[in-house]
Structure 1
Amino acid sequence: MKKNKFGWLDIFIYLVFIIFSLVTLVPFILAIMVSISDERSIVLNGYKFIPDLFSLDAYKIIFQDSIVTNAYKITIIVTIVGTFISLILSSLLGYMMSVQKVKYRNIIALIIFIPIVFSAGLVPWYIVVTNYLHLKNTIWALILPIVINPFNIFLLRNYYKSISPALSESAEIDGAGPWFIFYKIITPLSMPILATVGLFSSLSYWNDFTMSLWLIDDRKLFSVQFLLYRINSMIAYMSQHSNVASARMPSETIVFAMFLITIGPIILVYPYVQKYFVKGIMVGSIKG
């Protein structure tokens, strides 16, 4: 067997990727340093990688009320439950539309994919959610309105179509039913696309604040994104209309602290699913 030679081109490619990785880490490191800096040093000397004075005032202000902790719990519950339900419904719809023997699958696909191009508008959507579904001020208002994403169903359908139908046909000959085939044969082969769609869904739920803005009035049901949005708006308002408050409020450092608080869980989850991400998104998007 021939040994792979490690030439100058390989060294150059590795150096390019190392430099690119370091460049992407620089803003994140700067955000960490600014979030633990003293507000006055930031105002006087600007952002620095090594703070002149260390301070945790931004984090103390954010976590001084138990409502932030409760918002974290709500967001985690919504993300887990919403992602689980979304994966089940999307995978079932995607698999159903990939099976040639299913009647009217193209009509169902058309109905599902119409919202990608056309939208009924915010007012009709709000009336249906509040007056007919009665989801206002319930935790389901943060889950159900965005539980189905046509783009994710499109990826799943295309991935399922890439699996050889001979597997399903062989199982049918042996007496397996459609539910058994889907959960015991198709699902284990679809982990890359399921991980990809699960990542998309979890990001949508974690980053969403519009459902809380439109449908939630109860402080106990605020999501962490919406709560931090309100904190940031309050600080901006106080900074513009009160010189005394702006002198005490760490308006600069608190923005970076909120950024780190909201992005933290996603950074912890992504390494576990990123190995499936590229394969899932490529196969699910280019297969006919």
Structure 2
Amino acid sequence: MKIKFGWLDLLIYLVFIVFALVTLVPFTLAIMVSFSAESSVAMHGYKFIPEQFSLDAYKMIFQDSMVFNAYKVTIFVTVAGTFVSLLFSSLLGYMMSVQKVKYRNIIAFLIFIPIVFSAGLVPWYIVVSNVLHLKNTVWALILPLAISPFNVFLLRNYYKSISPALAESAEIDGAGPWYTFYKIMIPLSKPILATVGLFASLGYWNDFTTSLWLIDDRKLFTVQFLLYRINSMIAYMSQHANMSAVLLPSETIVFAMFLITIGPIILVYPYVQKYFVKGIMIGSVKG
């Protein structure tokens, strides 16, 4: 059986090829620059084929064993934080989607307020450090980011797209709200849960400002914050070094850090991307 391609099909394929190249070319360039010598980059600029191969940027990053500890902290915070975020956000979103729940509109309004207005950094810091006493604890990296109003509304709208007859039938058969939520709503909500889980995991993995404000213990540094400190240190040393000093990899280390931090997310995304479009579309326009 022969498959015929029209001009429209050819145009669509060309658009996707161009889009793929626009995405892959900068990524390939970043890989090549990270393996280039700093002197070569300073003299010849960024090139796809390095003028001089070097691992100085990676040696600078991994010379301290703290990087591996920071990876452990980041992986734990990302996994635990994503679970906590999904748990609280899904429960809150489901509660707001049930018609018979009292004051659900008032609760939705209160959750909506932080999207438009912010109290500011200082009150947030006082509450987290002085009231909740989370400073210099691993929970300081998890709880402040646990609930995102945007994710809660995505989940609420998705739950509202599920026929309420399912929950009503379960209640007639004697099921309680927890059983209905766990056995009926959760299995039917895989697309939106995968989407919100991806958003949450990206937020936890890429976050370094929370460590900057709340963490002083080096054992609790995340990989993003640690690499931020390394980059700041190298930039400072490069500006104040003597002309005879060794050339530090201030340019190539930026691309090396980019590859180190983005690697795990690239491995996770293919497993959830099949749910992503369906979840974000239904969760954003329904309700």
Q: Which interval holds the TM-score relative to the shorter structure? A: over 0.9
Structure 2 contact 38–249 (Cα < 8 Å) conserved: yes
Per mean C-alpha deviation after superposition, the further-off stretch among 260-269 and 238-247 is: 238-247
Which residue number corresponds to residue 140 of structure 1? Answer: 139
Q: Does 1:163 align with 2:167?
A: no
**1:24: Cα distance to partner?**
1.0
The change in CA–CA distance for 1:207 and 1:172 in structure 2 (over 3 A counts) is same
**1:72: Cα distance to partner?**
0.7
Which residue number corresponds to residue 37 of structure 1? Answer: 36
In 1, distance between residues paired with 2:184 and 2:4? Answer: 41
Structure 1 contact 238–245 (Cα < 8 Å) conserved: no
Which residue number corresponds to residue 15 of structure 1? Answer: 14
Per mean C-alpha deviation after superposition, the further-off stretch among 14-23 and 79-88 is: 14-23
1:53-132 paired onto structure 2 within 5 Å: 53-132=52-131
Per mean C-alpha deviation after superposition, the further-off stretch among 136-145 and 241-250 is: 241-250
In 2, distance between residues paired with 1:165 and 1:243? Answer: 71
What is the total number of aligned residue pairs between the two structures? 287
C-alpha offsets along residues 3-55 of structure 1, whole Å, 9 cap, x if unaligned? 97421210121111112101210000000000011111111111111112211
The change in CA–CA distance for 1:181 and 1:18 in structure 2 (over 3 A counts) is same
Q: Which runs of 5+ in 2 are unaligned?
A: none
- The structure 1 segments of at least 4 consecutive aligned residues displaced by more than 4 Å after TM superposition are 2-5
Identical counterparts, % of pairs:
81
Which residue number corresponds to residue 227 of structure 2? Answer: 228
Which residue number corresponds to residue 236 of structure 2? Answer: 237
In 2, distance between residues paired with 1:284 and 1:243? Answer: 57
Amino acid at match of 1:202: S
Structure 1 contact 239–246 (Cα < 8 Å) conserved: no
C-alpha offsets along residues 168-220 of structure 1, whole Å, 9 cap, x if unaligned? 11111111111111111111110000000000000110111111000000111
Amino acid at match of 1:197: V
The change in CA–CA distance for 1:126 and 1:245 in structure 2 (over 3 A counts) is farther
The CA RMSD measured in Å over matched residues stands at 1.5
In 2, distance between residues paired with 1:260 and 1:4? Answer: 40
The change in CA–CA distance for 1:95 and 1:39 in structure 2 (over 3 A counts) is same
